[in-house]
Amino acid sequence: MIRALQWWDLDEVLTIEAEVFAANAWSAETFWAELARDDRYYAVAQQGERIVGYAGLWFNPPQADVQTLAVAPAAQGTGLGRRLLSHLVDGARERGCEQLHLEVRADNDAAIGLYRRSGFVLLRRRERYYPDFSDALVMGLDL
């Protein structure tokens, strides 16, 4: 089931965040600040009682951005990333957005594969964009 993220999901979300993003993980404060904004939408994927993934959207029609997307390591490769992304695409359309953009590390093959499969195209490359000097790809989808 994919549904809106509630504040009581944050403990589980933060555990996944630390597992998948390690040193680059967002803090609890960052999530709280994101959830407090009215131009954001966050969703979780729930299996039974457990949260197994989450995704966030920044919408400012006609533009929207994917803020984050993550699936717990044990649940990766089962289609959840694709479903969460598709949920954000629908959410952006419902809010009147016409383009959805995102940034992804140029060496993140799994994420880039997912975005390409979902119709995103490469818009530009930002060289040495991240603190460790790796490049970012900016990708976009016309909604």
Q: Count residues near ligand COA (CB under 6 A).
A: 19
81 binds ligand COA (CB under 6 A): yes
**Position 127: which residue type?**
E
Active-site option among 34, 103, 129, 130: 103
Considering only residues 104, 136, 137, 141, which one is a binding residue for ligand COA as defined by CB under 6 A?
Answer: 104
CB of 139 to ligand COA, least distance (A): 9
Range 139-142 contact pairs with CB under 8 angstroms and sequence separation of 24 or more:
139/101, 139/102, 139/103, 139/104, 139/112, 139/115, 140/99, 140/100, 140/101, 140/102, 141/89, 141/99, 141/100, 141/101, 142/98, 142/99
88 binds ligand COA (CB under 6 A): no
> 95 or 130: whose CB is closer to ligand COA?
130
Identify the CA nearest to 63 among candidates 95, 91, 98.
98
CB of 68 to ligand COA, least distance (A): 7
Which residue of the chain is nearest ligand COA when measured via CB?
Answer: 81
Considering only residues 11, 94, 107, 109, which one is a binding residue for ligand COA as defined by CB under 6 A?
Answer: 109
Return the H-helix or E-strand segment holding 65: strand 63-71
CB of 37 to ligand COA, least distance (A): 20
Active site residue 127: no
